[in-house]
């Protein structure tokens, strides 16, 4: 077993074939890297980054900077520069979305709608600086792909029916270099029910069951998916007006729509998913120093 500095003893960290699999931020992050060792120090640095982000931005940890800022026991000027940066991004997102995105939930500071996509986008940048040109990060429904999985192949991301997770609606392929790659984020009710509140109306959105937003920067794509879900059908024109973004939306009744450029990016399939593949590659658990 190899140590993973900074990991919480209750948070798992595995190497499975070419993948590094980590539980963090209340979900599972997977890094599929094709040109670096997933057990390398470069991947250790990415995992340590996500652990730091979780410890800093978590609204469930009283000791986090965001929790202390919300409790007014810490001044913004005394927070890490990353906290000030994320809150600035949240204000910009609120302005761009006409108020359909916010860094507050139930009146309390909560920038979670920005943090995950932003942290994954920066992790991809870290991997590229370490020499990786071919990797795909999946983080609780958000995906960031760069390069290709192998010669002659493309990273492909599926859009699943929110009413039937066994049914595939569309497949988006990552463009090849020199493209900046692919970012996909989905917002909806399938996994967590009506957990999103439209800041404009103060009520859960009803128009959509899910919306998947596609672009090349996961920071933008992730918060745009949250705002678009809150907007409902009005999101179609809003997404169309943002350069580089497209979307595929499904209503609670099973109807769907997509933005003008989505069909050029994706294959519309609407077929059942194949059975899950059983991995035969042995897993190596990476544990915290000092943990058993």
Domains by residue range for the chain, with CATH: 2-274 (3.10.520.10)
**Phi and psi based region of residue 278 (left: phi greater than 0; alpha: psi -120 to 50; beta: remaining):** beta
Residue 8's pLDDT band, with cuts at 50, 70 and 90, is very low
Q: Are 121 and 218 in contact (CB under 8 A)?
A: yes
Q: What is the pLDDT of residues 174-230, one digit of tens each?
A: 987 778 899 999 998 655 555 678 888 888 999 999 999 999 999 999 999 999 999
Q: Are 4 and 38 in contact (CB under 8 A)?
A: no
Q: pLDDT value at position 192?
A: 56
Q: pLDDT value at position 88?
A: 98
Q: pLDDT value at position 47?
A: 98
User: Does pTM top 0.85 for this prediction?
Assistant: yes
Segment 249-264 shows an average pLDDT of 94
Q: pLDDT value at position 25?
A: 95
Q: Are 169 and 196 in contact (CB under 8 A)?
A: no
Structure tokens of 57? Answer: 């931005």
Q: What is the percent of the chain with per-residue pLDDT over 70, rounded to a whole number?
A: 87
Q: C-alpha dihedral over 251, 255, 258, 260, to 10 degrees? A: -130
Q: What is the pLDDT of residues 79-116, one digit of tens each?
A: 999 999 999 999 999 999 999 999 998 889 999 999 99
Mean pLDDT (the chain, rounded): 88
Distance in angstroms (rounded) separating the CA atoms of residues 159 and 251 = 14
Q: What is the pLDDT of residues 10-58, one digit of tens each?
A: 579 999 999 999 999 999 999 999 999 999 999 999 999 999 999 999 9
Q: pLDDT value at position 275?
A: 57
Q: pLDDT value at position 281?
A: 38
Q: What is the pLDDT of residues 270-283, one digit of tens each?
A: 767 665 443 333 44
């Amino acid at each position: 077993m190899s140590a993973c500095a900074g990991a919480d003893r209750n948070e798992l960290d595995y190497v499975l074939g070419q993948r590094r699999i980590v539980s963090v931020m209340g979900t599972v992050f997977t890094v599929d890297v094709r040109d670096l060792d997933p057990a390398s120090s470069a991947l250790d640095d990415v995992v340590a980054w996500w652990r730091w982000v979780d410890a800093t931005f978590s609204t469930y940890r009283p000791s986090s900077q965001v929790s202390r800022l919300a409790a007014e026991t810490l001044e913004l000027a005394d927070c890490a520069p990353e906290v000030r940066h994320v809150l600035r991004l949240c204000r910009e997102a609120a302005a761009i979305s006409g108020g359909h995105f916010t860094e507050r939930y139930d009146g309390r500071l909560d920038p979670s709608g920005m943090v995950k996509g932003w942290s994954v986008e920066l992790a991809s940048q870290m991997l590229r600086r370490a020499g990786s040109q071919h990797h795909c990060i999946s983080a609780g429904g958000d995906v960031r792909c760069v390069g290709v999985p192998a010669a002659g192949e493309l990273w492909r991301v599926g859009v699943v029916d929110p009413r039937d997770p066994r049914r595939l609606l569309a497949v988006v392929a990552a463009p090849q270099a020199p493209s900046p790659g692919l970012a996909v984020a989905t917002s909806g009710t399938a996994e967590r029910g009506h957990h999103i509140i439209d800041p404009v109306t103060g009520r859960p959105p009803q128009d959509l069951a899910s919306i998947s937003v596609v672009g090349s920067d996961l920071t933008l794509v992730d918060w745009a998916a949250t705002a678009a879900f809150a907007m409902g059908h009005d999101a179609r024109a809003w997404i169309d007006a943002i350069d580089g973004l497209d979307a595929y939306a499904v209503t609670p009744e099973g109807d769907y729509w997509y933005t003008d450029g989505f069909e050029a990016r994706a294959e519309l399939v609407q077929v059942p998913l194949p059975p899950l593949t059983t991995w035969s590659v042995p897993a190596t658990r990476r544990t915290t120093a000092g943990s058993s």
